[in-house]
Chains A and B, each alone.
Chain A
Amino acid sequence: MKKLFLPALLLLGLLGQAQLKADDVKTFTLKNGMKFLVVEDFSIPNANMYLFYKVGSRNEHQGITGLSHFFEHMMFNGAKKYGPKLFDQTMEFNGGANNAYTTENVTVYTNWFPASATEVIFDLEGDRISSLSIDPKMVESERGVVLSERSTGLENSPWEQLSQTLGGVAFLEHPYHWPVIGYEDDMKNWKQEDLERYFKTYYAPNNCVVVVTGGIKLEEVKKLAEKYLEPIPAQPAPPKVNIVEPEQTGERRVLVQKEAATPYLMIAYHVPEAKHEDYYALNILNSILSSGKSSRLYTTLVDQQQLATSVFSGFGESFDPTLFQIYGITAKGVNETALEKGIYEVLEKIKNEGITETELQKIKNQKLMEFYDQVETINGKSNNIGTYEVFFGDYRKMFDAPAAFNKVTAADVQRVAKKYFTRSNRTVGVLKSNTEE
């Protein structure tokens, strides 16, 4: 089990033992540009491999929307050595399991396996990265699967519909405009050549960061990487995403009709990408607003005023400027405009009066516990290391994060609230049954 490896704890003044140092993350880069980050951890007889490809829906254009996510599926449908079905069959036969996910920014493949099966995993990954077969019959069958994935999302959650519509209005030019799952008509029309070009361009070893954590020695990982992955040729760097979303100059509003017991409300503000200097202050602001039942939004809107049955906020890592989102479900008998007004009052209070030192300390205490959660397991370790490497440009930033959080003052939080929570910078979405009134 878990050595802690974030000096986070030291810097937050709470740590004693067992933290891992930046030096305990070993790295090497293959000749083809594929970068490896390795943590030896023999706490359980298992290991994992997380592959972060820097490709997501932001690399698409209209006509091929949803292709990144579709490709994530195709990566399981057969290559040269391991044909159709054999990737999963071989992995499971060897005691391993896998999954994968796609976002606007990245496509991530996750393998979890007994450490003794590590070589098989390298063989499987090497095979599909070097020589995936894109069989038209498989493409057709898999198209049905992703259409079902899209439909079941919309069928079961009003948020899916509302956030897709809102994203299309908040971003008018930047590719965050379309949903990761894609437009239904694009999904039905992806062409063979689109897929082939996508694979060659983005599934290049030099566009991938690999993290391995578990009961295996660095030397062994290196040997396997050289054997199975180094022969795969590098490709020219993928084209840059040049579009920058122009500054929003006035509030935008959207209304969506769908049967709902009470209206769903979503408010989104444009905020910067992960590498921006305001990232840590915004991250803390997000927690102040909605982390726990003593948070600002919950106490005010759910508990005291009872305008909402639930309310939360979200702000995550991204390559390009993104959205800071606030979501709420209106309480019975409450007009959604009352909830919207209530949310603005909470935000205005922070803008005008700031936050208290106690609140700030509370969030810093919570961040410490979050760190423990994230690094308590070998999977949490790989995920965290990979995220910092990909979104912040260097896994070592993870070791600087605690200092960065600690440096944030109450005044910084107030400053970013004032800077980004403006009327002209927001998009407001409402989903409800009756949109005619």
Chain B
Amino acid sequence: MKNFKLYILAGILLATTFQLAAQGYKLPAYEKFKLPNGLVIYLMEQHEVPLISVSAILPAGAIYDGEQSGLASLTAAGLKHGTRSMTKAQLDEQLDFLGASVNTFASKESSGLSAKFSAKDKDKILSLIKEILLNPVFDSTEFAKEKRRLLVSLEQQKESPRSVIGAYFDKFLYGEHVYGNIVQGKISTVTPLTAEDLKKFYAANYRPDGSAISVVGDFNAKEMKATLTALFAGWKKGPKTTSANPASAAINKPSENRVLLVNKEDAKETTFFIGAPGIARNNPDYVAIDVVNTLFGGRFTSMLNDELRVNSGLTYGAGSRFSALKNGGSFIISTFTAGKTTEPAIDKTLEVINKLHTNGIDEKSLTSAKNYVKGQFPPRFETASQLAGLMTQMFWYNFDESFINNFEKNVDGLTVEKAKEIIAKYFPKDKLQFVLVGKAADIRKIAEKYGKVKEVEMKEEDKKSF
């Protein structure tokens, strides 16, 4: 392959939220309403194919895990382990027979459900979705099986630097803040979990107020409104209030360069992240930051990929991204290189950072980035699933269609001068946080060049924080 999808998606992670403003595009008309229990529902008719897509978002992500890392993720998976009206096997059988997909998952802040099915099956599948969200039973036998699979998978991930480096980085950057929580969990915390823990987590966090469901596709909005109201109006409000959001605590900012060296005894390459605190999703400069990051590390010809891959052949790819959450976020440069070229690869990365700050961005590059960002977004909202996902993001991060409809204008409004300010304000040049996964014996000395080193074993369970 020429390059990983990474480079296409590397902009701001929520790149999927941009769209349709380009070339006169607007977000198609949609309807939004709120049930008395607080559940927000979005409906958008799209009749080109006889399909319906559903996206749901709930305030039940890993930030609520407490000491039980992995609990939110297992609870989300457990939603499909059977309901009051059907066993897991019956549920799977029914969905598979109709060629329908219904997935449940947790992320850092939220949990979610996404579904896609044939329009003719809408009554059946929407009822199943309601059962999955409102009446899961968290069967203990199914949970035991799920846990057993997860524990093996957590052990396997320790053999793949790419699978674990993100969790190491978040823990290293965020420390005790809940944004450092590891979504998939850890062996030591997953082992003692029981189906009872899932039931408790579900009772505390799955609730209509603070949640949203969007439905996009081939249906009549009036009928769909009646169907969804009938299905979800009986869902009882939860006990939790929004002020209980554990993510609202302040995030400590690093005061110096630090290096986390993760030893993988049989590593042939060094996989590394270099990063710093980033931005919250509601940052007013969000679009401008995305355009600048496109130039820095968000596409194939970006400064990072150009230097580390194209000019020097040190790696298959290098990129950067901002991961933006509700109350903060991270900025990460990521790449990998052969063990023996670790030092030149890191040095070149730092050179590129310096170049960004010293030389800034010229008019031609800025125009190119603007064209690129605008040109690539219509396909991001081509399907019903993409549109359904967009609307739950709008709900979660509290923005509306003006963000999309004004996107082109906001991109075009970025000047070279403003770009310079964006670089100075949001792109770090010091107090960098390094995570290196590789053979420590060979790269320990090199690591020391960049900051105070903390060393851990990839095979061992990580401590609470670094």
Contacts and interface: CB of A to CB of B under 8 A. Distances in A.
B1 A149 contact: yes
B160 A157 contact: yes
Interface string B377-402: 01100111000000000000000000
Given A152-B336, A291-B96, A16 B50 contact: yes
A250 interface: no
A140 B336 CA distance: 19
A76 to B, nearest CB: 6
Contacts of B376: 95, 97, 112
B93 A95 contact: no
Nearest to B118: A369
B197 interface: no
B100 interface: yes
Contact of B96 (A2, A93, A156, A292): A292
Given A45-B25, A294-B89, A369-B99, A141 B310 contact: yes
B425 interface: no
A292 B375 contact: no
15 contacts: A1-B48, A14-B118, A89-B301, A92-B300, A95-B372, A100-B2, A114-B23, A114-B374, A148-B313, A148-B314, A156-B163, A261-B159, A293-B92, A332-B152, A362-B99
Contacts of A117: 375
Interface size band for B = 35 or more
A123 interface: no
A114 B301 CA distance: 18
A46 B145 contact: no
Interface of A: 1-4, 14-18, 43-46, 72-73, 76, 85, 88-89, 92-102, 112-114, 116-117, 140-149, 151-152, 154-158, 259-262, 291-295, 299, 302-303, 306, 309-310, 329, 331-332, 358, 361-362, 365-370, 372, 376-379
Contacts of A292: 92, 95-96
A89 B89 CA distance: 52
Contacts of A94: 371, 375
Interface string B2-17: 1101001000000000
Contacts of B367: 93
A303 B89 CA distance: 9
A17 B49 CA distance: 8
Nearest to A299: B89
A261 B2 contact: no
Given A45-B25, A332-B152, A95 B301 contact: no
A156 B161 contact: yes
A10 B93 CA distance: 25
Contacts of A88: 300-301
A396 B133 CA distance: 44
A-B CB proximity, top 5 nearest: A95-B375, A144-B313, A261-B155, A369-B99, A292-B96
Interface stretch (B170-178, B250-258, B263-271, B355-363): B263-271
A407 B82 CA distance: 35
B36 to A, nearest CB: 34
Given A4-B49, A101-B2, A293 B96 contact: yes
Given A85-B310, A88-B301, A114-B378, 12 more contacts: A4-B49, A95-B376, A99-B1, A116-B23, A141-B313, A144-B314, A146-B316, A148-B316, A156-B162, A294-B93, A303-B145, A366-B99
Contacts of A151: 268-269, 338
Contacts of A365: 97-99
Interface string B63-104: 000000000000000000000000001001101111111000
A99 B3 contact: yes
Contact of A97 (B23, B152, B268, B372): B372
A332 B148 CA distance: 8
Given A92-B368, A93-B368, A365-B97, A46 B378 contact: yes
A101 B1 CA distance: 4
A223 to B, nearest CB: 22
Interface string B141-152: 000010011011
A179 to B, nearest CB: 14
A88 B374 CA distance: 17
Contact of B49 (A100, A294, A372, A378): A372
Contacts of B25: 44-45
B315 interface: yes
A114 B156 contact: no
Contacts of A141: 310-313
B337 interface: yes
Contact of B158 (A261, A310, A358, A376): A261
Nearest to B22: A45
A155 B375 contact: no
Contact of B375 (A2, A18, A96, A377): A96
A149 B316 contact: yes
Contacts of B149: 302, 309-310, 331
A292 B99 CA distance: 9
B306 A140 contact: no
B220 interface: no
Contacts of A45: 22-23, 25, 378
A152 B310 contact: no
Nearest to A2: B48
Nearest to B373: A95
B299 interface: yes
Nearest to B294: A92
Contact of A142 (B313, B372, B382): B313
Contacts of B315: 145, 148
Contacts of A116: 23
A94 to B, nearest CB: 6
B46 interface: yes
Nearest to B295: A92
User: Which of B51, B267, B378 has the most A CB atoms < 10 Å from its CB?
Assistant: B378
Nearest to A148: B316
User: Which of A43, A114, A291, A362 has the most B CB atoms < 10 Å from its CB?
Assistant: A114
